[in-house]
Structures are given as structure tokens and as C-alpha cells.
Chains A and B, each alone.
Chain A
């Protein structure tokens, strides 16, 4: 491109006092399911740390004045006991926080139809995950999806040995010992990342309530290592009321689809939660009530077309060190480097190959070495 016309820019903006309540979640309608609501506070523009609201009481209410309190968990989460909330009623949330009382508007319980299929199509630089669903009742109309991606990856070097820090204080002990099955595995990890963008769809213009091949997620081959081995995605679907759909659509326009020439200007956003004592107070969030349906797929590397996949390990290399105790301590004590394989000559270890820790220990990229329960 001839013009570097788009560049990062942070205007020197005032950061007025903030700390408005944010409430996010879906009142989960279904058989023995839990509802999870997350509360937080808005922060100043220069403070990107999420400030969760931990001191609150949260209730689900229906129009019959039935009320269930949610219990507080960590990170601003409030979780209900297992419930089987009946459909055909309207529900709302009541929140008491910081001596103020907030209620969401009563919202009709919606039933999410099953996701018919989840599949992928090849794209230039990756794959696109698409979804099919339909509602024969013609009642869903406004769909919202969220997803969680999980993928498996392995480091380029399989380490059979490890540095034993005990050698620092006890020179008798060998600095390098074999890696045992009781040691935590570091070769293969699973990374799990929830969705961070708003995915919504509507069939209101269509004669049938059919979502056809809706793109849910584009998985880039070059921007991450998602497609390096096995990739899985679970998509959760819930149904929104019209106002809830419009709210998320506007939030998407304000925060994800703005800035280009024909995008509309950002504007104030009001959800369905109000402060009982001061209706002008800003509250972020829209609480809807819906059942949640989900579908998971697995994609193996072998199924994928030819792609230039980023392993995130392109800069890894392996080198050798003479097997000398002081050298071993010097190199491996801090943990920045990890020994990979011993090099033996006539049964004696003469050298040790090693690499950066991130090239040997898969956890360094953020993944977990615990295989998820659903993984095949």
C-alpha cells in the first residue's frame, strides 16, 4: 500500500470519573442448568485492568415474584444453583451493589433451537467456521453466539532430561537427570481462548427462520498456531429479544466496526438495566433469558488444505553445551533455557543440547498441559 494512512494514535483525552456498573450474562432457561452473571465496573480510559464487582447481591426474579439469589464466585462471577426455570415466563435480574439497587427489564424466556451443523470452509489464509441453524417455530429471529476455541500444539524439541536445582547446594548430585513420567508434561499443550468479539445474526428479513452458513469465526493460519495440530471450537447459541439484538449490534458498531469512512459515528449505548434510584445513571449490559444450545467440532491438521501455518516456533534453534556442572548451573539455573537431550559418547554424557524455555516448555506460550476432558 502506498500510504501508511492508518496508524496507532492515542489522543490525550480526559479521563472523567467512572465506575459505572457492568452486568453481563444470560438467564439460563433449561433443565438443571446454572446461570452465570459477571459484574464489573467501567474504568478510566487509561486503565485497561478489568475491575470486577465482588461486593454485590444478585437475584433472578420472575413476574410471580419468585426470587433466587446467586452466589458469589471469583472474578465478579455470580452463579445460580442448578435450576430448571420454566419457559413462558418473563425474568429479570436484580442487583444490589454499592448501596444502590439495579433491575433489568423483564424479558421473555426464549428457547434456542439446536445448532444444525458447524463446519469450516477454506479461505485464503486460514479457515472460516460457519454455522447452520433453524427454528421451525419461526420464533427465534435474533441469535447471539459465543465460542471457545481449544487447540493442541507441541514444542519442536522433546525434552527427555531436566536440570536438577538440588545440584546447586549439593555438588554430589548430577546437574542433569532424566525427565520422569511423574514430572509435568511440557511437550504438548492445549490452549483455550474464549471469543472476544460480538457475533450476532438475525433472520427477521427472511421468510423462514434459517441461519445459513453464518460465519462465526475466521481462524487465521498465519496469525496464531491454532491450526498447527488439532483445533476445536464450541459454539454456544442463545436467543435475544429484539432490543437485546439491537443493543449488541450497536455495541459492535461502536467498538468493533468504527473508524472507516462510511461507518456511523459512535453513540451512547443504553441496555435494559437501570438504577432504581437514578434512572439517568449509566449501566452497561443487556440481560436476556434464553436456553443455550451448543455444538463442538474438531479439525485435524490433515484435513486442512495447504496453508502457511505459523507454529510460533520459527525462531527456535537447538545448541549444545559441554556437560560440565558449572556450565549447567550457569545456563539452566534461571530457567530461561531448558536441556533437551543428553549426548553420549561410549555411554558417558559429554554434552547436553538445549534451547530457549519457550521452545521446549509448551506452557510458556500460555497453554495448559492438562488435556481437556472433551479432547479425543
Chain B
């Protein structure tokens, strides 16, 4: 970056030096139409023997009509600079120095006089010291860009009310878009934040403004603009090279106060990398788990429970592709390569209307675009995986690619795990490929591919494998300054298989898969400062193969069996309007109409009304033909949120939103298991419906460096899935006989204090939350906890998390992560009985006991090599300790009959102090 600026600056200076005129003193004449200053100055120079010194960067680009009739140089320049801040001074050697604001003194005290013709005195605003020449250059270049006046539009076009300004904010070094940057003007208070393509848009009346741009990890930028008519203003931001490590979660410094959204958290990859991780493997989902309102059943799982939602109620999008199983290695690590990911955004409450189909949250994971300027890469060596990542331009400034791979190389880490895993073997990989092609300034195509695979064998001879495959194509277009659109289409697949060939007669392989094809069209229409519309439609075609069992080998007598394939179409139309009522009040209202069609071919079982759904109560089975519409579900969903700000540092927000979910994960294990199946809503399984009310207070202190918030929510859930005792879920052609509809309620308070700048930064959050279920199915045929409310298996009321990071220097920082939570509920025995030769435990009520509380503290230290920008290879180390106190946090407490007696056990997953080290190379 600096090098680029240097070259640029040197070019400018050379240009200045060569602008040397000649000839005698005479009057200047001419009549110029729509001439810009640089041309005008060249014209002046041609006619005189003065030598003009100026920095073209600083010349205003406004065009003017001007005419002279044999006038002196002083008069000409005064006239030409009339509408600008430019001033000039002339020395005895006929040198003219043109500067902004303050004129160059042509006579200086002895010893300070620069050599005649040296222009650095004019170009460089500050004296050069010998501390860091590179830094000085960069500062200088920045100052130059900041002070320059940019002309937008045509001066001669009549001004009519508000004018739309749009543009892209990009990283000056890599050319990647800067997402979530806030672009604003102080007077009047108008602002916007950039979308995922770095695009922004807002409206202003004609005039001159200072445009401020702020973003995480970037130096704040300023642009002076002179606005005449609609136009573009692209801004390149400079990365904050020197302060590598900052903990930041919110989109922008003031955004938590200003935005209407609630319950949104954003983590950028730098912050994620700072959080100490299990075995040093940077883990996106575990990082999300540190956020208030997000929990998991236990350490063995990265399945997220957001505000009382179950694991399957999260829409996990990786560049628009739905990831059904976002984990590796028995669910312990998340399936996203941290080198590829740019940032993640979690919507816990205000879900934008363009998202739907899941009840509790949207986790939007975005990968980086490849470097537009040059080929770079990185490699990492950790205890769990090795990583390789390369990126660069295919066609300079137009087409870029990025490819990343990650794989494990050994089974040795089983040693860190409980005995249960001792004889297990596991391996996994994931791969990413992103290609971005810019057709022109208005149309950009993004192609992203993702693939992950896992194979493992859990302490026996059964082998499990699963994989995700996703491909998406996205076209982002700017139709006009006010209307932009994104058209996306793609294919997602998740499949798993279980096989065993130990016994030749029983050797089998079982396959499960979900495939989905989608098409989404999203448009943003910026009406004016008061209204911005977001609308579009999307459609999703599901094809689900719930299970196919087949024999393996010649001897096998396993009967091939296939549970019939399911298909459905989920379509939605939505419109939302962001209405800025006035400076203080802003309302975002959205409506999403969703329609779900369960399609044939399918056989639908009919059950006698009013009696429990059992196989005995099937009265009839109706067959439907191919593509026949069997069942419709749907309705309107509302997404409303409002913000009222009392001051720049204090606001209150309220929201309501409702959603429906048509695809459900069926699982009666505590942790999300790789063998969990998914099921589409059908006439016998109703869609889940949820609504959430939320209220929040946001207050910032010390000029927005300390953010505090309180958020309260209450959720109602209908048709929440629970399971009959001993439910059979896999290869069950009539799964509706084993599931139960419950109703759920979840409520909680989330408190957050965050300091995102300074040497010491981090956050502390406290969450109180409950999720309670109640069997609400008159024909369930069985009773759970006497029909009373009971806690779900991940109901953990209290949770305190503190993340602190201290930066000793630009190269060394340490992080400390502490977390405490209430133990999760489990089902415990109420008595003993003797049966089949052994004493055994008797169970009654579900989830009536809690395992001991959870506490963990982790430490990590990041050491970067030097920060020389020009160095070929950058090295960084992370080392640390997971579970510093070595506490044996229980994952489960259980009772087992062994040799005729009942023994109680407590199982911890990472019940020891686990040190780690991780090495990263950037080239």
C-alpha cells in the first residue's frame, strides 16, 4: 500500500518540477469554457515565463468558465482561484507556489530557505523527521487525498432537491470491498453503511460536504466533495497495518446506537483469531459461542442454541449457501477455514426480511474476495489442521480468485479426548474456491464453491462419513444510483453415510442426503433519505432422501430399503422499508410472505382423528403423483424494529419478528450428531412457528469507545419438536409416530459492556435466559412431565463471559477468555430396578436435574513477526492454554449398569489443561 502511495507521490512531484514555463512578463489572454484548474494552469504557464509549483492532487477539479484579456498573472490567478481555497505566492525568481489555505512565504529566515525550485516544501505539509519515512509518506498521501475536493456530477445540471451519491468503499491494498463501513456527513446528519459489496448510497442536497468513512481495521478517511448532481464517489481505505489486533464486534463505532437492528453481532476474523481456541484451531462457531445469548449443550459440540432455539433453528449461510452440518470431527470443530472467512454476522432478533426459513437466528458467514492487485497466500500449521490459502488476480483489477484448503493429518488428538473415543479414527478436510469477476463498474459476478468432508469411526467397526457441497453464482448489479440488485442461484448438498462390513451377512451402507436448489433476487431501492426499500423474492426447491439402506458384499442378506424421497418448494416475497422519520426516530418494517408446497410423489398416511399417532391408528394411505401439490403451508411474517435515539450516545430500540420453519432436524441425542436426519414438513408434521418481542437500551460512553447495552426478549414457539421416549428416527418411514409437538417459550436478558479500542479491549456479557417446553399435543399418546413446562436440554439460565485482550506492543498481545454457565439439565434416575440379571435405573421426568456448573478460562498469546510491509514472508505465532484451571467440566452425568450394579459417572470432554501452538505464514 505504502509503496503504491510512494510511487504515486513521486510521480506528482516530478510532474510539478516539469511544469516549467518560459518567456517574458506579459499579459495573459484567453477565453475558456468548462476548464478545469490543471488545464488552466498549463495554459497560463504557456503564456508566461513564470514557473508554477503546485501539487495536482490538491487542485480542485471543478470546471469553470473564465476569460482574461491581457491581464497580469496575479489577477489571472486570483480570478481562477476565486471559488477555491487556493492561494499563491510569487518569489523573486518568478516561481509561483500554489497552496491551499496558507500562502507559502517566499522570504524565510536565514537557514530555513529551501533551495529554489524544491517543491517538497509546498507538497509536504509537515516537516519530515527521520523517524519513519514510510509512515511519513503515507500520512502525507492520506492528507493529500483527504484535502482534495472531489466534484460529483455536473455543475450545470439544475439542482433539484436531494441528490443521490453512491459508491464503493474498498481496501486500497487488496481492492476488496470494505463491508459495514459507515459513510456519513456530520452536517446535516446523513449516513449509510456499506453493504457486503462495499456499496453505499445516500442523498444530500447540492453543496459542499466533508464525507467521513469509518470502518474496523481501517484508518478513518475523509473526502471533501462538491455535489452538483447524481454521481459516484468510490473511496479506497487504507488498512490499519500497525494496529493488527483489535477486538471489535459491532459493525461500526456508532452503529450500535444508530442502527435500527437489535440482537445483531458481528465478529471479524481478526477478533475471532484472538480468542483462545481448543487445540489452537481457530474456530468460528466457538467464537460465536462467546456472544451473549448463544449457547451450546456442551464442549463436544459446536451446535448453536441462540436465544433458546434448537440447533436446527439457525440458518447458517456461507456466501449464501446453506450449510447443514457446520462441523468437523464429531462436531468438535467448525467446518470453516478461518483463512478464507472475512467476518460473521449473527442475527438473533431483528432478522432482515430477506432471510427466512429458520426460527432463531441467521448466521451469515462471508468469505473474503481474492486480492485484486497481486498474488498472495498464507499457510498455517496447527495441532489439528494444516492450511493453505492462495489468492490473486486472474485479470488484474477485474477477476480475482481465492482458494483455500484445510485438512487434518493425524488421529493423535484422540488422546486428548475421553476414553469413549479411544479406538476411534477420524479425518476431515474442507476446501473453498471463490472467483470474482467485475464485468464493468456496474456488474460483478461472484462464484463461490465450498466442500467439506468427514470420515470417522467411533470406537467400533461402524464407519461414518458426511459431507457438504455448495456452489453459488451471484450477480450484483447497479441499475441506477438508487436501485441495486443481487441475483443469486445455487445448489447445496449435505449427505452422510453409515456403513459396517464387519459381519458379512449384515454388511450394509446407509445413505442420507439433502439437496436444494435456490434462486434469490434481492433489490435495494433508495428512495430518499427517509425511505430505503429492500425487496425481492426467493425460491428454494428441496429434495431430501431420508434414508437408503443397501447390502454391501455378496454374502450380505440385508434387505435394501429406501424411505421415499421427499420434495418441497419454499418461496417467499418480501418488502421492507427503512423509514427515517426524523433524526431521532427510525423504523424498519418488513413483511415476508412465505409459501411452502409439499410435493409428490409421496404416500401420505392418514391417522384416525383424536387418537395417538401410532402405526395401529393408520386408517389409510393416500398416494400422490409426481409434482402433485400435497400440502400448502405459509403466511405472512413480520419483521419490525424501531429506534429512538435520545442523543448520539443513547438510544432505545424495540422489535417484533415472526418466522416459520419447514425443515427440521430430528435428533434425540444431547449433542448434534452426524447421524441426525432432517425432515420436511408434511401433512402430518406441521411447520414450526416462532415469534419474538425484543426491547433494548444502548448507551455509549467515552466518545463511543465503551458500548453498553441491555436487551430483553420473549419468544413463543409453536410446534417445537420433541420426541417420544425411545423414538426411532433413522430409517423410519412414518416418523410422525415418534415425534411430539410441544410449545415453547423462551425469554431472557442480555447485558453487554464492550470496549473496542485501546490497549486493553474486550467485552463482558451476562445473559439470563430460559427455554421451557410443554407438551401441547392432545393426541400425543404419552405425557412428558405430566404436561407441565420442562426445560429443554440446553436451558442454561446464567451465563457470564469475559473476553479481554491486552496489546503490549504492535507485535505482542495476550488474550484471556473466561466463561461461566449454569449446568445443563439432564434426565436422572428416580429409582432402581432389577431386570435381566442386573440392577438398572428407572427414569421418569425429563431434564429434572442439572449437571454441575461450567467454568473455564483460556489464555493465548499472539506474537507477530515484524510488520515490514515489504517483507516477503510474514510469520505469526499463537500459543496458549485451553482450560487454564484444568477444571473437569462435566459434559454429562450418567448412570450405567455394569456387571450387575449401577455406577454413576461424570464425563468431561476437555477435562485437562490443554496447551497449544499455531504457526501462520503469510506470503
Contacts and interface: CB of A to CB of B under 8 A. Distances in A.
A40 B833 contact: yes
Nearest to B674: A262
B21 interface: no
Contacts of B842: 18, 20, 42, 269, 282, 284
**Chain A contact residues, majority secondary structure:** loop
Interface stretch (A28-36, A248-256, A334-342): A248-256
Interface stretch (A2-10, A92-100, A367-375): A2-10
Contacts, number: 221
Contact of A269 (B559, B726, B891): B726
A8 B839 contact: no
Contacts of A264: 668-669
B838 A197 contact: yes
A48 B908 CA distance: 26
A268 B845 CA distance: 7
Nearest to A24: B835
Given A22-B833, A43-B832, A268 B896 contact: no
Contacts of A117: none
Interface stretch (B233-241, B411-419, B707-715): B411-419
Contacts of A210: 505, 557
B841 A11 contact: no
B831 A16 contact: yes
Contacts of A198: 836
B557 A207 contact: yes
B828 interface: yes
B827 interface: yes
B843 interface: yes
A71 interface: no
Interface stretch (B35-43, B167-175, B399-407, B899-907): B899-907
A160 interface: no
A357 B725 CA distance: 51
A156 B836 CA distance: 34
A206 B832 contact: no
Contact of A207 (B330, B558, B835, B900): B558
B846 interface: yes
Nearest to A267: B725
Given A6-B418, A269-B726, A146 B836 contact: yes
Given A11-B849, A42-B842, A197-B836, A259 B561 contact: no
A195 B836 contact: yes
A239 B152 CA distance: 87
A205 interface: yes
A53 B419 CA distance: 39
A24 B836 contact: yes
Contact of B506 (A11, A42, A197, A206): A206
B558 A3 contact: no
A43 B832 CA distance: 5
B837 A5 contact: no
B503 interface: yes
Interface string A279-303: 0101011000000000000000000
Contacts of A265: 668-670, 793, 826-827, 846
A4 B833 contact: no
A206 B725 contact: no
Interface of B: 298, 300-301, 330-331, 415-420, 422, 458, 503-506, 508, 549, 557-559, 561, 668-671, 673, 675, 725-726, 782-783, 793, 826-844, 846, 849, 851, 888, 890-897, 899-912
Minimum-distance CB pairs A-B, first 7: A259-B894, A9-B906, A267-B725, A212-B505, A5-B418, A18-B831, A250-B726
Given A5-B888, A269-B843, 19 more contacts: A3-B908, A3-B911, A5-B908, A9-B893, A11-B851, A20-B833, A43-B832, A44-B832, A146-B836, A196-B837, A196-B897, A197-B836, A197-B838, A212-B504, A250-B726, A251-B836, A261-B420, A265-B827, A268-B782
10 contacts: A8-B904, A20-B842, A48-B832, A205-B558, A256-B896, A258-B895, A259-B905, A261-B300, A266-B841, A284-B833
